[in-house]
Amino acid sequence: MLHAHQAPTLDHSTQQQNPPLTIQIRPATAADAPLILNFITELAIYEKAEHEVVATVQDIEASLFSPAATATALICEMNGEPIGFCVYFFSYSTWLGKKGLYLEDLYVSPKSRGSGAGKQMLRHLARIACETGCGRFEWSVLDWNAPAIGFYESIGASAQSEWVRYRLAGDALRAFAEGETSNASPVAKNVPPAT
């Protein structure tokens, strides 16, 4: 019988309590190259571009961990388990007369989304940008990725819609470097040459 002044007793033996989540961001090492490639592949699948991933573990090791590497990778761990990564490098703004931090990729595995890991990685990168004297922190996002766009806007980032990104890659890059322009688009053929 429960009296008015007694609190009910609860059996805690069957209640499961979740341990607190500990998110840590650390510099990646060459030993992380297979993990990074796995995350890159998962990201490409999400972006519907898995067929475009041609990098190998050896490519990751050489491009991120050799003495000539120009990009840096970070690993995000939750309770000691890797759940994501990011890769960034420094760019330069002639208008600001300062370097900038460019985020090439940021990925959090689906099971860990909503944990705050992505936001923590972005904040970590923002601190690096501030500590190294960067004038800006930039990245690109696919125009159909509404969840990411909404998230970026929620932290104060703004789209640079007046800029259009261009790319030369593969055969087009090689052809242009060799002086060929036969692959130019019909639109480009009607543009007067630059002076």
List the strands of the sheet with 98-108, edge to edge.
23-27, 71-78, 81-93, 98-108, 136-139
144-169 in b/e burial notation, b at 16+ Cβ within 10 A?
eeeeeeeebeeeeeeeeeeeeeeeee
Active site residue 166: no
CB 85 within 8 A of CB 35: yes
Which of 46, 92, 102, 152 is labelled catalytic? 152
Q: DSSP string of 151-169?
A: HHHHTT----TT-------
Distance CA 169, CA 158 (A): 27
Q: What angle do CA 63, 117, 121 make, to 5 degrees?
A: 45
Tokens of 78: 């939750």
* CA-based nearest residue to 120, from 79, 76, 73: 76
Residues with a known catalytic role:
152
